Amino acid sequence: MTIYLDYNATAPVRPAVIEAMTEAARRHGNPSSVHASGRAARHRIEAARRDIAALIGRDDGDVIFTGSGTEADALAVRGLGRTSIAVSAIEHDAVLAAAPGAARIPVASDGVVDLCALEALLSTETPGLVCVMWANNETGAVQPVAEIARLAHTAGWLLHVDAVQGAGRLDPAALSEADSIALSAHKLGGPPGVGALLVREGLAVTALIGGGGQERGRRSGTENDIGIAGFAVAATIAAQERETEVARLSALRSRIEDGVRRRATDVRIPGGDADRLCNTVSVALPGVAAETQVMTLDLAGIAVSAGSACSSGKVKRSHVLDAMFPGDPVAAEAIRVSLGWNSTMDDCDRFLHAWGAMRDRLSPVARPSNAESVPE
């Protein structure tokens, strides 16, 4: 059986989510229809909207359902209508691709946005939209979004926060001043293909997709009520269990970090000095390509990611680690281990066993061929 340690890519769907979606699939009714079935579907979607806003502590919010976290980011970046855009250098491709000409905000070597550089940029560029993610998907580094909101608003900018990885794992109080927030169901144990953008009440958003005028004209297309039902349940469970899960997963993450450090003194943990997500650790093995590590672990029955996998399945150099360590090979040598609701201590121990064997076999400093006394 595979040990699944890739929750930041997608989490296994929670059993309660499967139940809720199965129940939703048995019902029918277009939420835009005026008859009773349609009105019942509309009622369920509105209830889900409240559950999802509650996950990020925003009952005042205005939640727009989308087809993914990627679409939610694109809707904020393009739909908020600001021409001047600044993005952190470690944003997900969903944000970077939506704002190709944006000014880049640098990060320090711990993976956290450089607030002095941000403040300087905000005061020199025309005020527009600044995008900083809540927590990075590769290193887990948590960004000071409350402080960034304050700096942005003082300088007349709006703040968009990609909360896809932070939601359900971090205290939502930090998001209280954000102007828009992107979420994705499948990182929480909900279904893939459902996301949401929460916008501050009264903020205008121009649709990327026109048509039937759903989501108050900001995202046309019949709502995915089955997926939304699953998203709402996943959000509710994540909110209820957040504190206990943070404690449990932090202990698992420490087990992994201590274990790799004990097995190899040359191992690097990018972002290890920052405040990080409880479930995420980036582990770099000097001299061994990330792609090789992922494949070797896969053969040993362990599923992890390289820092940045693209949709073709190829591993590309991590722009996140490049931003933290310019010109350093670490950007091509790190794997990401990410835990979640179904992870156990046994998973961590089996990972460590496989990782140790891999390291002994592949690391240039551990390989017998490098030891003078060992013949080929």
Q: Which is nearer to ligand PLP, 161 or 332 (CB)?
A: 161
29, two tokens:
């009714």
128 contributes a contact to ligand PLP by CB under 6 A: no
The reply to whether 133 sits near ligand PLP by the rule CB under 6 A is yes
CB of 186 to ligand PLP, least distance (A): 6
Sign (positive/negative) of CA torsion 363, 369, 372, 374?
positive
Question: Which is closer to ligand PLP, CB of 149 or CB of 354?
Answer: 149
**Cβ pair 299, 305 in contact under 8 A:** no
| Alpha helices (H) in the chain, listed in sequence order | 15-26, 36-55, 69-79, 93-98, 115-124, 145-154, 225-263, 290-299, 319-324, 345-362
Determine if residue 340 is left, alpha or beta; phi over 0 gives left, psi from -120 to 50 gives alpha, anything else beta.
beta
Minimum distance from CB of 154 to ligand PLP (Å)? 26
Number of residues lying near ligand PLP (CB under 6 A)? 14
Check if 310 is active-site.
yes
Q: Of 67-75, 118-126, 288-296, 302-310, which segment contacts ligand PLP by CB under 6 A?
A: 67-75
Ramachandran angles phi, psi of 187, nearest 5°:
-85, -10
Q: Which of 74, 90, 94, 118 binds ligand PLP (CB under 6 A)?
A: 94
Which residue, 305 or 363, has its beta carbon nearer to ligand PLP?
Answer: 305
* Distance, C-alpha 263 to centroid of its chain: 29
92 binds ligand PLP (CB under 6 A): yes
Largest Cα separation within the chain, whole Å, is: 82
Q: Which residue in 21, 31, 68, 121 binds ligand PLP (CB under 6 A)? A: 68
Which residues 157-196 are close enough to bind ligand PLP by CB under 6 A? 162, 164-165, 184, 186, 195
Choose, from 116, 278, 310, 348, the residue flagged as catalytic.
310
Nearest to 175 by CA among 186, 157, 159, 187: 159
Q: How far is the CB of 134 from ligand PLP (least distance, A)?
A: 8
Order of strands, edge to edge, in the sheet holding 158-162? 62-66, 195-199, 180-184, 158-162, 129-131, 85-88, 103-105
Stretch of 47-55, 66-74, 145-153, 230-238 contacting ligand PLP, by CB under 6 A: 66-74
Residues that bind ligand PLP (CB under 6 A): 68-70, 73, 92, 94, 133, 137, 162, 164-165, 184, 186, 195
Catalytic residues: 310
